[in-house]
Amino acid sequence: MSGRETAARIADLRRRLDDASHRYHVLDDPDIPDAEYDAMLRELDELEAAHPEFADPNSPTQRVGFAASGRFEPVAHAVPMLSLANAFTDEEVADFVARIEKETGDAAPRFSAEPKLDGLAISLRYEGGAFVRGATRGDGATGEDVSANLRTIKSIPLKLRGAAPEVLEVRGEVYMPRAGFEQYNARARELGDKPLANPRNGAAGSLRQLDSRITAQRPLAFYAYALGEVSGALPATHSEVLRWLRGLGFAVSPLVDVVEGTDGLLAYYRNVGAQRDELPYDIDGVVYKLDRFDQQRAMGFVSRAPRWAIAHKFPAQEAATTVESIEVNVGRTGAVTPWVLMAPVHVGGVNVTRATLHNADQVARLDVRKGDTIIVRRAGDVIPEVVRVIGERRPLDASGQPLHAPYQLPTHCPDCGSAVEREAGEVVARCTGGLVCPAQRKQALIHFASRRAIDIEGLGERFVDALVEFGYVHGIADLYRLTVEDLVEMKQRSDEAAGVVPETVKAGKVATRWAENLVAAIDASRSTTLERLLFALGIRDVGESTAKVLARHFGALAPLMAADEEALKDVPDVGPVVAARIAHFFAEPHNREAIAALQAAGMHWSEGAPQRAADGPLAGKTVVLTGGLAAMSRDEAGARLEALGAKVSGSVSRKTSLVVAGEAAGSKLAKARELGLEIWDEAALLAFLAAYA
Ligand code: JCF
């Protein structure tokens, strides 16, 4: 290539790379594949290395950053960088609008409105359409030159698009999108590095790096929102300036709008506020600016803040407070959730005293202790959570050691005293108390009484709540001791508590009839089957089909309760995880007591000799189930076939004895046909099962 050709190729590559980068980082509308971008960048890099005479600090190759320069030089802002007055209430916004209406004499002035990003204010200077310098706000008059770091931010144009004025200073916010912040922190935690406190600190810290190669690794972005020094004529309004800046290649918030009147401003505030949690970046309010520049000039300034603009703040989502104690809550599934009781704090617009710690891993990661000063966050309607501990404020004893030891999750449930256990690979620790744990009791009772379990007609969620609430029922066995009088009394108390008054003779009769029916239904449920009982006990991961298989395999409750994990693993369909759960359940003394209490209350279930699957009609046969069945789930069909001696397999091969093909069976059925195997439809299966039931 001749020198001229090389120069042309370099210029062409730079233009194409700039275009691609603008489409990707500013317009969010990429048009070439990453690989193509990378190939062009590599070619440009090689050409620039071979021809240093064509070097340009604004070349796309320069966005990778370079080694430390020593320190940041001061930069005097030709036009001072402003700060904004704040409004926290609707009244303050109304006052702002009224003041402007009065002083401009305009009855309906227009305002440009935009979200207020929570990042770092920056001024960018362009000369002849090329980026020359960028600086932080500093004290508004003098900032620091962080050009090398700013060059690494892909949404900051290094060359302006189209006709640019000779001198142009653009102000805006450098911010770290939430997704990038989360990714950065996830990686930092993996590497054992210090995570960033929040996206704002992330942006500020990243721009303060002396080695811009580090900045280049940080996920930063930029939105333009104002001008500094500009040569030549300007549009007449702020909203037109924003449109003009977009045309020059800057990213401008897509949420900017022009609004009128206090109502218009407040509607904008509420609309953006409603989107706050879903936005890809943090915002702490919205900014209203009088749109017409001539009106801005008429309003002027007080100290360094313009009188023509105001920041309307959202309630802070983070606040500091202190930990009074760490507690745990046991949920309806036994999940043990640690949380902190805190000194009351105003956050996210409300006063709170509790914040969640989610789980034991989170407690360990944050290392929250009693007495600590913590940052809590409440975004939208979500439960407040602990974000971090301010380590410097941890209370110490006389010898300088922390006053309190690291917090440990309790080993026993605070509600029932049963062991709290956490299985390998699980985040959540659980109370093993099952039926006896009051926290889990309501849920356990509802499940126990449900139609497919013990089936107590008329005992729904509402009455279970009241029975537990008023203390009539503690464990499941208490159900079998309830009398008509108990139930009538309970209903009366529950109605009173709900504010229901009708104490008529008729109401009394209705209540008695209801109670008699319920007692009869409970009485009828005393006689059940082992498989229903096993399902009703609510052992984790023991659904109806596993309950059935267990009942068939053991034939009676006693041998099942005596079985260890090894013996349980021999049961068809029961893997190591479920075997461990079953063994755990029956090892828990509270659960054994609950079962004994059921028997003492007269509950009984059909027990028989265990079915000898080895002698079953399908002994030695391998069956594959495919497609959907109408009468039962595939799992249930599999369990029933196994109970008759079959081995149920997931794939069809020459060794398959029989394929049961349900609705919409596909490739397995085709393969079975190909191999000439015996194939049953659902009707054949049901007929066979009925014959051996
Ligand atoms: O998003 C912001 N943080 C933000 C700050 C937006 C603006 O339009 C601003 C600002 C600070 C000063 N405008 C001025 C004049």
**Which DSSP string corresponds to 495-542?**
HHHTT-----HHHHHHHHHHHHHHHHHHHHTTEEEHHHHHHHTT-TT-
Contact yes or no for 200/154 (Cβ under 8 A)? no
- Give CATH for domain 318-393: 2.40.50.140
Q: Whose CA is nearest to atom 7 of ligand 1?
A: 225
- 175 Cβ inside 6 Å of ligand 1: no
Q: Whose CA is nearest to atom 1 of ligand 1?
A: 116
- 111 Cβ inside 6 Å of ligand 1: no
Q: What is the pLDDT of residues 607-648, one digit of tens each?
A: 765 655 667 888 888 899 998 888 888 878 887 888 788 888
Residues of the chain with CATH 1.10.150.20: 434-525, 528-606
Q: What is the pLDDT of residues 74-99, one digit of tens each?
A: 999 999 999 999 999 999 999 999 99
Q: Which residues of 176-207 are buried (b: 16+ CB within 10 A; e: fewer)?
A: bbbebbeebbeeeeeeeeebbbbbbebbbbbb
- CATH number of 86-313: 1.10.10.10, 3.40.50.740, 3.30.470.30, 2.60.40.1190? 3.30.470.30
Task: Identify the pLDDT of residue 68.
Answer: 67
- 116 Cβ inside 6 Å of ligand 1: yes
Residues with a catalytic annotation lie at: 116
Cα-to-centroid distance, 584 and ligand 1 (Å): 60
Q: Whose CA is nearest to atom 2 of ligand 1?
A: 116
Residue type, 480: Y
Contact yes or no for 47/54 (Cβ under 8 A)? yes
**Residue 492 vs residue 499, higher pLDDT:** 492
Q: Which of 596, 595, 604, 601 has the alpha carbon at shortest distance from 434? A: 595
Please state the separation of Cα 562 from the chain's center in Å: 42
Task: Identify the pLDDT of residue 504.
Answer: 65
Overall fold of domain 434-525: DNA polymerase; domain 1 (1.10.150)
- 82 Cβ inside 6 Å of ligand 1: yes
Q: What is the pLDDT of residues 443-452, one digit of tens each?
A: 888 889 999 9
Cα-to-centroid distance, 279 and ligand 1 (Å): 18
Once rounded to an integer, what is the mean pLDDT over residues 141-165?
Answer: 95
**Angstrom distance (rounded) from CA 408 to CA 406:** 7
Q: 226 - beta bridge partners?
A: 171
- Give CATH for domain 3-62: 1.10.287.610
| H or E element at residue 600 | helix 589-600
DSSP state of 693: -
The best mutation among 287, 303, 310 to test binding of ligand 1, ranked by most ligand atoms within 8 Å of the C-beta, falls on: 287
- 241 Cβ inside 6 Å of ligand 1: no
- 552 Cβ inside 6 Å of ligand 1: no
Task: State the chain's mean pLDDT as an integer.
Answer: 91
DSSP state of 193: P
Q: Which CATH architecture has domain 622-691?
A: 3-Layer(aba) Sandwich (3.40)
The best mutation among 116, 175, 200, 312 to test binding of ligand 1, ranked by most ligand atoms within 8 Å of the C-beta, falls on: 116
Q: Tokens in use for 20? A: 């691609």
Q: What is the pLDDT of residues 14-41, one digit of tens each?
A: 999 999 999 999 998 888 998 999 999 9
Q: DSSP letters along 5-34, please? A: HHHHHHHHHHHHHHHHHHHHHTSS---S-H
Task: Identify the pLDDT of residue 607.
Answer: 78
Task: Identify the pLDDT of residue 613.
Answer: 62
| H or E element at residue 648 | strand 647-649
Residues of the chain with CATH 1.10.287.610: 3-62
Residues of the chain with CATH 3.30.470.30: 86-313
Q: What is the pLDDT of residues 319-365, one digit of tens each?
A: 999 999 999 988 877 899 999 999 999 998 889 999 999 998 889 98
Task: Identify the pLDDT of residue 652.
Answer: 87
Please state the separation of Cα 689 from the chain's center in Å: 46
Cα-to-centroid distance, 625 and ligand 1 (Å): 65
Query: Is the CATH code 1.10.150.20 the one for domain 528-606?
Result: yes
Residues of the chain with CATH 3.40.50.10190: 622-691
- 287 Cβ inside 6 Å of ligand 1: yes
Q: 320 - beta bridge partners?
A: 375
Task: Identify the pLDDT of residue 611.
Answer: 56
Cα-to-centroid distance, 512 and ligand 1 (Å): 70
Task: Identify the pLDDT of residue 610.
Answer: 60
Q: Whose CA is nearest to atom 8 of ligand 1?
A: 225
Supply the pTM of this predicted model.
Answer: 0.66
Tell me the CB-side half-sphere exposure of residue 509, using CA atoms within 13 A.
3
The answer, yes or no, to whether residue 464 has pLDDT greater than 90, is no
By CB atoms closer than 10 A (0-12, 13-18, 19+), residue 535 is buried
Cα-to-centroid distance, 149 and ligand 1 (Å): 21
